[in-house]
């Protein structure tokens, strides 16, 4: 069977899209990839197979991968326990390294988030951006959740966390 140029192009696009989605870490209300909320920073580093660079004090600290990758992901730890994971802007020219289990990532429209999460989604005004919202998805027990921050109808960052850390507007202060 001969493949047309269009069929070849579609096959290549499908393979590239599948590989791209597969390479991304998946954020849920339980964690990101091998890192789980409630885990120690040391255990998270071991799970990732690399050292984490930690900034902050004993009560509250923020960690990033020390290898220079994943600059868009931060792990917030309170008393050395990861209580929140944030996904923000990737470095210029880089794609974000994470999406949610529903496939929502940076740049998604608010409509895409609404379709992905349906009636579980609660919409609140953004505390600092009059053109933005907090799109909140809580677990049934309301102990953890995911918040998407938007501006002008697009996701600019998102995070998963345990309460009350999920609700801290600025993370570790």
Domain with 65 in it: what CATH number?
2.60.460.10
Q: Is 68 helix (H, G, I), strand (E, B) or coil?
A: coil
CA distance 29 to 37: 8
The answer to whether residue 47 is domain-embedded is yes
Q: Which pTM was predicted?
A: 0.82
The answer to whether residue 7 is domain-embedded is no
CA-based torsion, 151, 54, 142, 106: positive or negative: positive
The string of pLDDT tens digits covering residues 149-170 is 999 999 999 999 999 999 998 8
Domains in the chain, number:
1
Residue-range definition of the domain harbouring residue 148: 25-167
Instruction: Report which of 71, 31, 69, 74 is spatially closest to residue 49, judged by C-alpha positions.
Output: 69
The answer to whether residue 104 is domain-embedded is yes
The string of pLDDT tens digits covering residues 61-87 is 999 876 555 558 999 999 999 999 999
**Which position has the higher pLDDT, 58 or 73?**
73
What pLDDT band is residue 52 in, cutting at 50, 70 and 90? Answer: confident
The answer to whether residue 56 is domain-embedded is yes
């Amino acid at each position: 069977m001969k493949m047309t140029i269009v069929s070849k192009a579609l096959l290549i696009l499908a393979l590239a899209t599948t590989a791209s989605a597969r390479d991304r870490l998946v954020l849920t209300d339980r964690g990101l990839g091998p890192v789980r909320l409630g885990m120690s920073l040391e255990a998270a580093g071991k799970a990732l197979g690399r050292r984490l660079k930690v900034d902050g004090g004993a009560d509250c600290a923020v960690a990033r991968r020390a290898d220079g990758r994943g600059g868009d992901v931060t792990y917030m730890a309170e008393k050395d326990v990861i209580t929140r994971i944030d996904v923000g802007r990737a470095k210029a020219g880089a794609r974000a390294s994470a999406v949610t289990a529903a496939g929502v990532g940076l740049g998604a429209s608010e409509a895409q988030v609404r379709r992905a999460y349906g009636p579980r989604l609660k919409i609140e005004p953004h505390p600092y951006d009059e053109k933005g919202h907090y799109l909140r998805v809580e677990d049934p027990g309301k102990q953890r959740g995911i918040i998407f921050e938007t501006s002008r109808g697009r996701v600019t960052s998102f995070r998963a966390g345990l309460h009350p850390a999920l609700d801290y507007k600025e993370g570790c202060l």
